[in-house]
Amino acid sequence: MLKRSVIAASVAALLGAVPLGAQIIEQVLVNVNGDILTKTEFEQRQVAVLRNRPELANVTPESPELKRAIAEVTPQLILDAVDELLLIQRGRELGLALGDEQFKSILENIKKSNNIEDEEQFQAALKQEGMTMADLRRALERQMLATEAQRRDVVDKISVTEAEARAYYESHKQEFTTPSEVTLREIMIEVPVSDRGVNVAADDEAKAKADEVRRRLLAGEPFPRLAAEVSDAPSKANGGLIGPIKHDELAEALQSRLDTMKVGDLADVVRVQRGYQILKLESRTETRIRSFDDARADIGNKVGAEKSAGERMKYLERLRGQATVTWRNDELKRAYEQALAARRKVLEG
């Protein structure tokens, strides 16, 4: 995992250092309606994203790979940071706050989901993350304010009409279709290949062996046992079992063969690239399409999510239009404007 100090050094170079002799406790990057984003806060966002990239595990602050990664993630991160401030401010306007009981409930859920059994263990976990209880409460409240503001102003106002739901269903039938699948059993009798190619006698011998195996199968010997004994395919370890496999992912020739078989049927011996193959159709499921009524709830969620995404962008644009945003870092301002232009292009398209 990428060390935090490595990222911090590179981020410091990107965001600019505090001038020598300046009596500044914390460097402000942007002011949004009086709320600020500091260099430390933004660096933490960058660290959180980049430290989980395996390809950056051994880089140094001067590595071109790290600098490219920082430049890549920064535009979206700074846009998200400003969006978050706008949403938090809207949450406060709505009179929202994280109450003591709600905070305690969230803490209990955090402890439970992380198998933390006592307060000492929880405090140790906080320390490992470089957080205090006050930091955690502040982070949770900010998250709650942003989420709840969007729910009240956007999500709760989204509705999906019958016509929209049916249009989505008709144009996305594949999402509600379970394709036919087959499960097979296989025995492969491999034909040896030398530098001179395939020896005719060896090929005939393999064919004769495969024919004998098929005769034994027809006589009632268990397929899994014979596969384990004589098959040269990796599937022998599982009694020759293959699948389930989607029917339409099989080669057309094999599809045609299987379409003439019933479950339990044994196919003829067939010459394939590696040798001679014997297949048994173990099971088959037919293609199933969920009805519109059965899929209605899922369709509503999908269409609602799509509409919410578009409405959320419009909503953020409205909040941004009413805001006063003052930049203290020109490099981040350009990154912000780059990400904002890309979002607006999506909105217009």
Q: Over the stretch 219-238, which tens digit does the pLDDT of each residue have? A: 999 999 999 999 999 999 99
Structure tokens belonging to residue 17: 């250092």
CA distance 176 to 290: 5
Q: Which amino acid is at 215?
A: R
Residues 5-12, mean pLDDT to the nearest whole number: 50
pLDDT at 293 over 80: yes
Share of the chain above pLDDT 70, in %: 93
Residue 87 has pLDDT above 50, yes or no: yes
Average pLDDT over residues 130-152: 93
For residue 2, what pLDDT is reported? 47
pLDDT in the model for residue 17: 42
What's the predicted TM-score (pTM) here? 0.66
pLDDT at residue 128, as a whole number: 86
pLDDT at residue 9, as a whole number = 52
Q: Provide the token pair at 296.
A: 């209605």
| For the chain, percent of residues with pLDDT exceeding 90 | 70
Domain boundaries, the chain: 180-286
The single-letter DSSP state of residue 181 is: E
Average pLDDT, the chain: 89
Round to whole Å and give the CA distance between 141 and 125. Answer: 19
| Rounded distance between C-alpha atoms, residue 27 and residue 17, angstroms | 9
Confidence of residue 21 (pLDDT cuts 50, 70, 90): very low
Count of CB atoms within 10 A of residue 66's CB?
22
262: exposed, middle or buried (Cβ count in 10 Å: 0-12, 13-18, 19+): exposed
Region 42-58: mean pLDDT is 87
Please determine, looking at this structure, whether the domain spanning 180-286 carries the CATH number 3.10.50.40: yes
Question: In the predicted model, is pLDDT for residue 10 greater than 60?
Answer: no
Q: What is the mean pLDDT of residues 322-335?
A: 96
| Predicted local distance difference test score (pLDDT) of residue 25 | 62
What does the chain come to in residues?
A: 349
Band (146; pLDDT cuts 50, 70, 90): very high
| Weakest mean pLDDT among 189-198, 243-252, 317-326 | 189-198
- Worst-scoring range by mean pLDDT, 107-111, 127-131, 329-333? 127-131
Which distant-in-sequence residues (6+ apart) come within 8 Å of 336 by Cβ? 30, 75, 78, 79, 82, 327
The answer to whether the CB of 332 falls within 8 A of the CB of 27 is no
Which of 59-68, 84-93, 105-114, 264-273 is modeled with the greatest confidence?
84-93
pLDDT class for 19, splitting at 50, 70, 90? Answer: very low
Q: CA-CA distance, 145 to 148, in Å (whole number)?
A: 5
Rounded Cα distance, 157 and 96, in Å: 19
Reported as a pLDDT band with limits 50, 70 and 90, residue 186 is: very high
The reported pLDDT for the residue numbered 18 is: 40
Locate all alpha helices (DSSP H) within the chain, ordered by sequence.
Answer: 4-15, 39-50, 64-93, 100-113, 119-128, 133-153, 162-171, 200-218, 223-230, 252-259, 292-321, 330-348
Cβ burial 79-114 (10 Å sphere, 16+ → b, else e): bebbbbbbbbbbbeeeebebeeeebeebbeeebeee
Residue 1: predicted pLDDT:
41
- Which range, of 8-22, 124-138, 268-282, averages the lowest pLDDT? 8-22
Apex CA 308: angle with CA 146 and CA 169, to 5°?
150
- The yes-or-no verdict on residue 201 having pLDDT over 80 is yes
